[in-house]
Structures are given as C-alpha cells and as structure tokens.
C-alpha cells in the first residue's frame, strides 16, 4: 500500500528549476534511499514533501486512505498527518535539556486545551504525566535516558543526531525523512546508525526515506534507491540495479561526490 505519491512535482526559484517533473510512489514499510550530487535537488524535494516549500506545479499526496495533499498545508499540519523529518544541519533546541527537546516533539498530540493549562485542571496533569513517561521511554530506547537532564548542545555529535531522530519520532509519524543523518559521523557511529534506522523501521512500523552520501549505508539498508541529478529523477531501483546503471555511474557513483 502506498503511503506517499508524487505526481509531476516541480519547483522553480526565479527561473532556476530545482526539481523537475518528479513522479514516484513509496510503499508502506520501505526504507528508501535518495542520492545524487550536491545541489541535485534532494533537500528541496524533502522541503516540498514537508510543506516548507509549495510546489510550482504537481502534487504530493500522502496518507492515501484519506487522500491528503501537501499543497498549501503548513509544516505543522503535515506533521499532524504523519510526516516527520530531521535536517542536514542538526536543529535541536541547543540550550534546552535532552528531555525538553523530546517533549517538544509531542506538542501536536497534546489533548488538553488552553483552559486546562491555565487553570491546571486534572486533564492537564494527566496529559503532562503521560507525555513525560512516553518521552522517557523514547529516550531509553535511544540510550539517552541517563542524559535527559543534560543541555543538548553538550552532547556528542552522534548523540545529538540520535536525539534529533528521537524528537521526530515523538510526533508519532508514519513516514520519517532523514536528511544526511550520517554527515559528520565516524565509522563506528555510522555503523550504529545503520542498525538504528533498521530498528526504527521495525519497532515503530515506519516508512523511512534517507538522503545520504554514505553509499555503504544506502546500499546496505535501503530496499529501493532514487537518484537525482540537476533536479531530475534519473533512475530508481534496487541497490544492485542502481550500482549497474550507466546514468547513475556517470552522474554520481563514478565521480568525486561519492563518500
């Protein structure tokens, strides 16, 4: 069953075509790799999926049971419907604690209203208690519970990446978008990240799309790979098919961009 369908999607910035007529469909439970040279349009594509940009033309449809389009939806609305993401440059609340960062991820699911919060009604305390417990469970799964009171900017780089993913999962998404999660990681951290992404898919019953330059990670964990070049989707297929595709070798795998 498809969880995401993209039809003739394009984005133009002042005459520059960043994404051009992209068509693809993502099935429930897949781990998808998104690769291509720097400037190929990968992050712009993520921004179109998450409502940061509105498409110049075309459409993004997710949660196909309800046929919800991202056009004209704000990012917080898209999160509400089941898409969460991380960013190429880590975007934590640097001066907040590890726990508070994760608690922020739960904000779309809070059930009490303004009156309950102002007057500290029982529903407020119950929801806050349940959210705190859920956050601690999530941090425990990411081996961060013992650091819950630390300021996030003081964490190691690998721990900050894991915290950002944990915060995204607090929104209880159906589709998780990871933008270069292995960037800046050493080989040990990258190996742990591979295991973490595979575990996340199973434990949280998610569909995952990963933008990544580390080909060992992409080829090892992804069932299908989509390749962008100059904003155009030039190929898609299994890791084995992509490695043999002459267009991909010429545009990316045979060049200096490979990491």
pLDDT in tens, 23-53: 999 999 999 999 999 999 999 999 999 999 9
- 200-226 pLDDT, tens digit per residue, is 999 999 999 999 999 999 999 999 999
Domain boundary among 167, 186, 221: 167
Domain boundary among 167, 183, 211: 167
Beta carbons of 236 and 192 less than 8 angstroms apart: no
Q: Mean pLDDT over residues 183-203, rounded?
A: 92
Q: Mean pLDDT over residues 223-234, rounded?
A: 97
Residues 247 and 204 in one domain: yes
Domain membership of residue 88 (yes or no) is no
pLDDT band per the 50, 70, 90 thresholds, residue 259: very low
CA distance 73 to 82: 13
246 pLDDT above the threshold of 90 = yes
Domain extent for 227 = 1-82+173-259
Residues 177 and 163 in one domain: no
Secondary structure class of 46 (helix, strand, coil): helix
Secondary structure class of 38 (helix, strand, coil): coil
Phi, psi of 33 (to 5 degrees): -100, 140
Task: Note the pLDDT of residue 258.
Answer: 42
Closest-CA residue to 215 (of 176, 255, 158): 255
Residues 192 and 245 in one domain: yes
Phi, psi of 222 (to 5 degrees): -90, 135
Domain membership of residue 210 (yes or no) is yes
Task: Give the chain's radius of gyration (CA, Å).
Answer: 19
- 68-126 pLDDT, tens digit per residue, is 777 778 888 888 888 999 998 888 999 999 999 999 988 776 666 666 666 577 776 67
Closest-CA residue to 182 (of 156, 162, 200): 162
Q: Mean pLDDT over residues 54-79, rounded?
A: 83
- 142-188 pLDDT, tens digit per residue, is 999 999 999 999 999 989 999 999 999 999 999 999 999 998 889 99
> For the chain, how far is it from start to end, CA to CA, in angstroms?
33
56 pLDDT above the threshold of 50 = yes
Domain membership of residue 87 (yes or no) is no
Task: Note the pLDDT of residue 81.
Answer: 83
Tell me the two tokens of residue 97.
Answer: 């604690």
Residues 184 and 251 in one domain: yes
Task: Note the pLDDT of residue 257.
Answer: 42
Task: Note the pLDDT of residue 13.
Answer: 95
Q: Tell me the CATH number at 196.
A: 3.40.50.300
* Domain count across the chain: 2
Task: Note the pLDDT of residue 114.
Answer: 67
The region that residue 96 occupies, defined by phi over 0 for left and psi between -120 and 50 for alpha, beta otherwise, is beta
Q: How far is CA 7 from CA 20, 23, 24, 253, in A?
A: 11, 5, 7, 27
Q: What global pTM score does this model have?
A: 0.87
The chain-wide mean pLDDT, for the chain, equals 89
Task: Note the pLDDT of residue 72.
Answer: 73
Beta carbons of 142 and 158 less than 8 angstroms apart: no
Angle between helices 157-170 and 122-141 (to 10 degrees): 140
CA distance 214 to 183: 8
Beta carbons of 232 and 42 less than 8 angstroms apart: no
Residues 177 and 259 in one domain: yes
Domain membership of residue 39 (yes or no) is yes
Residues 76 and 129 in one domain: no
Domain boundary among 167, 185, 203: 167
Residues 230 and 189 in one domain: yes
């Amino acid at each position: 069953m498809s969880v995401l369908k993209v039809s003739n999607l394009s984005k133009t910035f002042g005459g520059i075509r960043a994404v051009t007529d992209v068509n693809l469909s993502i099935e429930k439970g897949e781990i998808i790799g998104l690769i291509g040279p720097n400037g190929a349009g990968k992050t712009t594509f993520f921004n179109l999926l998450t409502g940061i940009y509105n498409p110049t033309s075309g459409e993004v449809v997710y949660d196909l049971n309800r046929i919800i389009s991202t056009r004209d939806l704000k990012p917080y609305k898209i999160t509400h419907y089941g898409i969460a993401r991380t960013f190429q440059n880590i975007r934590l609340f640097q001066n907040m604690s590890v726990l508070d960062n994760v608690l922020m991820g739960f904000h779309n699911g809070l059930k009490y209203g303004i009156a309950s919060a102002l007057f500290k009604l029982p529903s407020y305390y119950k929801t806050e208690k349940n959210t705190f417990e859920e956050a601690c469970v999530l941090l425990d799964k990411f081996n961060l519970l013992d650091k819950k009171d630390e300021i996030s900017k003081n964490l190691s780089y690998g721990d900050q990446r894991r915290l950002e993913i944990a915060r995204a999962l607090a929104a209880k998404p159906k589709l998780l978008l990871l933008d270069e999660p292995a960037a800046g990681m050493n080989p040990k951290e990258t190996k742990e990240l591979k295991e973490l992404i595979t575990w996340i898919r199973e434990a949280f019953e998610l569909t995952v799309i990963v933008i990544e330059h580390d080909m060992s990670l992409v080829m090892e964990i992804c069932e299908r790979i989509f390749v962008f070049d100059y904003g155009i989707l030039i190929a898609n297929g299994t890791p084995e098919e992509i490695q043999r595709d002459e267009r991909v070798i010429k545009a990316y795998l045979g060049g200096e961009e490979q990491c």
